[in-house]
Amino acid sequence: MIAATHSARFNPLIRPYLVLQIAFVMAITIVGIPLAILWLLGIGQWWARHYFERLMCEIDERELRFRKGILFTVEKTIPLENIQDVTFIEGPILRQFHLSILKFETAGQSAGQAHDMQLVGIIDALSFRDLILQRRAEARARLQPAAAAAPAGKSNEAEQLAVLRSIDARLAEIASKLGGPPV
């Protein structure tokens, strides 16, 4: 069964939220107050409108694709089997704008990349999160090799038992050299 591509829709209220969020960051410094005023008088609305128009997120049976930005465009493609968790975040300010954040944790992710893996303003974010997790499970099931699904054979069990006995003998040898009781 091939799953269709699903595109996320973004809430238009993300525009005033982003304008106010950036204006607040500018205003908390003395130097940024004049910039915050210019931002609120028009530059911010222009930027937010174009930012919103460029937002894109879609999922198919193999990957999640995401694009954001105006001058510096960020495009990410994440294989679904690499997604470890999708966190739903909603706070009092986000609720005022009817927004939420989906935060992605991926396999092999470093701490600096975690910030880039957030989607703000997806309409019906909980359903989209559930769709991502469902398709991730389907992708992982497709990747399972047939050998892993089959029960372990007698030869595999014998090899494991031999390795465990070797480890046990080595631990006993180490314990005797350290003067401790045999393991």
Q: Which two tokens stand for residue 82?
A: 């690499």
What's the pLDDT score for residue 98?
Answer: 92
Q: What angle in degrees, to the nearest 10, is found between the helix axes of 14-27 and 44-54?
A: 130
What's the pLDDT score for residue 20?
Answer: 93
| Percent of the chain scoring above 90 in pLDDT | 42
Predicted TM-score of the model (pTM): 0.68
Q: What is the spatial distance between Cα 13 and Cα 10, in angstroms, rounded to a whole number?
A: 9
Is it the case that residue 15 has pLDDT exceeding 90? yes
Percent helix, strand and coil across the chain, each to the nearest 5: 55, 20, 25
Q: Which two tokens stand for residue 68?
A: 């954001």
What's the pLDDT score for residue 169?
Answer: 86
Q: What is the spatial distance between Cα 120 and Cα 139, in angstroms, rounded to a whole number?
A: 25
Q: For 48-84, what is each residue's pLDDT tens digit?
A: 999 999 999 999 999 999 999 888 998 999 998 888 8
What's the pLDDT score for residue 117?
Answer: 75
What's the pLDDT score for residue 151?
Answer: 57
Mean pLDDT over each residue of the chain, to the nearest integer: 84
Q: For 102-153, what is each residue's pLDDT tens digit?
A: 998 887 655 555 445 788 999 999 999 999 999 999 888 888 764 455 555 5
What's the pLDDT score for residue 146?
Answer: 46
What's the pLDDT score for residue 115?
Answer: 42
What's the pLDDT score for residue 118?
Answer: 86
Q: What is the spatial distance between Cα 59 and Cα 95, in angstroms, rounded to a whole number?
A: 25
* Domain boundary assignment for the chain: 6-146, 152-178
What's the pLDDT score for residue 105?
Answer: 86
Question: Class for domain 6-146, per CATH?
Answer: mainly beta
